[in-house]
Amino acid sequence: MTAPKAHAWIDEMKPYVPGKSKAYGHHHPVKLSSNESVYGPSPKAMEAYRAATEGMIRYPDAESAELRAAIAEVHGLDVSRVICGAGSDDILTLLIHSYAGPGDEVIYSQYGFMVYPVQTEAVGATGIAVPNKNWAPDVDGILGAVTERTKLVFIDNPNNPTGTYVPWNEIERLHAGLPKHVLLVLDGAYAECVTAADYQAGAALVERAENVIMTRTFSKMYALAGLRVGWGYGPAAVIDVLNRVRMPFNVSVPAQAAAVAAVKDQDHLKASVAFNAEWRAWETAALSALGLDVVHSEANFLLVGFPTESPFTALECNEYLMKNGYIVRALSVLPDHLRISIGSEQQNRGVIALITDFMNGSPEAGEASDG
Ligand SMILES: *Cc1c(COP(=O)(O)O)cnc(C)c1O
């Protein structure tokens, strides 16, 4: 007898490792590992979520019509080309499953969002990881990697885990250099956080091109990560494909309700963006003053480079922070770095105080690095 067998390529996949949420016996650790927004969602979104309990016996609207209309209105988009998903991961995954398979190539950055390589492997396609340039996705490197087998190019802009961004004229240059058969995916999970003037998330390019889709999320600056809502804006033909393949009821009743209220509350979003920018600058300055190598961030997290000599390495600092109840993100692809999400004022001051102690070689720091 033979057991059920999945596609051969799935046996080789390593599972996705999410940000840690536990730290050595701390029951309520400070979690700065998943780029959630501690500033919190709009109170109107929380109210809409509670009110939605009345509708829980019914399936949600399969078209997410009210949510799509609200998104289209706020962003000035054509509602027929907006699609909603269970987080933008849903849309990114649908894109890969719809456009790539064995023998096809999918391009992304070496230091980029994990979902692209994981889902590329899941469909048996070949992932091409292009080295970053100055921490950002490298336009020339990506153009050089394109072949006739390339189906998709993913750019997370700003990039996760580096926090850097590609200026808009470079995105336009990338698009101009891509063959028409390649679908360019502009993943704007952190678009709301960006304060750089030469950044665009890409809606205007979506409207004039046949091969560009932009994805966005309610998980980061809208602070609704637990509800799983994201959206995409693409050419009619691409949206049609995704609508055929997606699960019909992919966004739940309370998620749709809360997201509608959240997107309509742009004042709350602005306040959250201002808070993030202020603490991002403060933490960047504080960590730089310790002699650490902070990558310029336009997102809601910082990538911080540590010395390579013990006892000041990134992994030793990570241990020290965990022992003190702080969880940040250690990255297997960047072992000399830690990724630290912006948190509340108290959390930001707390993590900086701990890293300061660590870098000053406090007794606790030495002790922690032995663990
Ligand atoms: C967090 C993140 C997403 C998506 O998150 P969802 O919660 O699925 O919307 C997408 N891309 C990048 C680069 C991210 O960091």
Does the CB atom of residue 219 touch ligand 1 within 6 A?
A: yes
> pLDDT by residue (tens digit) across 169-226?
999 999 999 999 999 999 999 999 999 999 999 999 999 999 999 999 999 999 999 9
Are 117 and 152 within 8 A, CB to CB? no
Report CA(357)–ligand 1 centroid distance (Å): 32
What phi, psi does 322 have (nearest 5°)?
A: -65, -40
Strand pairing category for 30-31 and 326-327? parallel
Nearest to 319 by CA among 255, 271, 365: 365
Q: What is the DSSP letter of 146?
A: -
Q: Is 33 close to ligand 1, i.e. is its CB under 6 Å away?
A: no
* CATH superfamily entry for domain 8-31+267-359: Aspartate Aminotransferase, domain 1 (3.90.1150.10)
Confidence of residue 138 (pLDDT cuts 50, 70, 90): very high
- Separation of 351 CA from ligand 1 center, angstroms? 24
Structure tokens belonging to residue 297: 């961030």
> Taking the chain, what is the end-to-end CA distance rounded to the nearest angstrom?
48
Instruction: Compute the distance between CA of residue 318 and CA of residue 316 in angstroms, rounded to an integer.
Output: 5
Please tell me the residue having the least CA distance from ligand 1 atom 1: 189
CATH of 43-265, one of 3.40.640.10, 1.10.10.10, 3.50.50.60, 3.40.50.300: 3.40.640.10
- pLDDT score at 142: 98
Task: Name the helix (H) or strand (E) containing 254.
Answer: helix 253-264
Candidates 166, 164, 197; CA nearest to 184 is: 166
Supply 45's token pair: 């979104």
Give the three-state DSSP class for 108: strand
Task: Kindly report the pTM of this predicted structure.
Answer: 0.95
Where exactly does CATH 3.40.640.10 map onto the chain?
43-265
Residue 17, pLDDT > 90, answer: no
Burial class (CB in 10 A: 0-12, 13-18, 19+), 254: buried
* Cβ–ligand 1 contact at 114 (below 6 Å): no
pLDDT of residue 169: 98
Q: What is the pLDDT of residue 21?
A: 66
pLDDT tens digits along 291-345: 999 999 999 999 999 999 999 999 999 999 999 999 999 999 999 999 999 999 9
Residues 6+ apart with CB under 8 A from 90: 228, 230, 246, 250
Provide the 3-class DSSP secondary structure of residue 224: coil
SS (H, E, C) 266-293: HHHHHHHHHHHHHHHHHHHHHHHHCCCE
- pLDDT per position as a tens digit, 46-94: 999 999 999 999 999 999 999 999 999 999 999 999 999 999 999 999 9
